[in-house]
Structure formats: structure tokens, C-alpha cells
Amino acid sequence: MAFTLSQYRLMRYAGKVPYVFILDYLTGTDNVIKPMFGCHGIYANGKLCLFLMNRERPLTRREGSPMQKGVYIAATADHADSLKEIFPDAEFEYLKAGKVWIFVSETLAGFEQYVIAACEMITSGDKRIGR
């Protein structure tokens, strides 16, 4: 069986990244997975799109969620309002320079559905996700 370079890159990390189901939904784009800060950043078509975090110790303290287990979706402030309609139960964190992180906690009832929706937006080339 032959694999594309993108599929090979994703499979290479299948045993290392948390929430491995995500890789099944990202096979249609040129993806790169980069380990960073004990987590994994997923770049699609050259843009940081997802940040997978499943740490026992938090990077920073978060009120009510000290372990920070979940998926961060990278976006910009320009698209935050429309993304709030798609991810209404997620936490939106506004940073400097118009950057936004959308945090989907693994304890959220719709965790997988939200993450799959983000992956489908990435593979369809939706410009609202990634920066």
C-alpha cells in the first residue's frame, strides 16, 4: 500500500500525539506535526491550526481547568464572532496582535464533534482557522 507524504507524516506521530482520531480527519491537506512545550502543534498548508495538549502539569494556570487537557484552535479576532456560532461552548482567549485561541476542553460534552468540525474546516480550506 502506498501512502502520500502527508499521510506518512501523520502516521509517524500516530502513537505519540494525544487525540489520535484527529489525524484521520486531516489526511487531505499538507500537514506537519511539531512537538513543542510537551504538546503538539499541527500545521496545515503552512499555518498553525491546532495545538494538542494533554499534559499532567499545566503550562499556565487556567481557572477551573488546571490540567489544560484539550485542543486549542488557532484563529484571528476577525473571525472570532463567526467561530463562536460553530463552537459556542468553547473558551475564546483573545491575545495581542488580533490572535485568538479557541480552547476545546476534553471534558466538554461535544469535544470530539467540535474537534472534528475544526478538522473538516481545515481540510476544506476554511480561512477562519489557522494563522
Using the structure block, give the residue that is written with the C-alpha cell 491575545.
Answer: 95
Q: Which helix (H) or strand (E) holds 111?
A: helix 111-123
Contact 40, 51 (CB under 8 A): yes
Superfamily of domain 5-123: Transcription regulator MotA, C-terminal domain (3.90.1150.20)
Domain map of the chain by residue range? 5-123
C-alpha to C-alpha distance for 127 and 122, rounded to whole angstroms: 8
C-alpha to C-alpha distance for 106 and 5, rounded to whole angstroms: 29
- pLDDT of the chain, 131 residues: tens digit per residue: 445 556 656 666 666 778 988 988 987 778 888 888 888 899 998 899 999 998 766 666 656 545 679 999 999 999 999 999 999 999 999 999 999 999 999 999 999 999 999 999 999 999 999 99
Bridge partners of residue 72, in order along the sequence: 51, 103
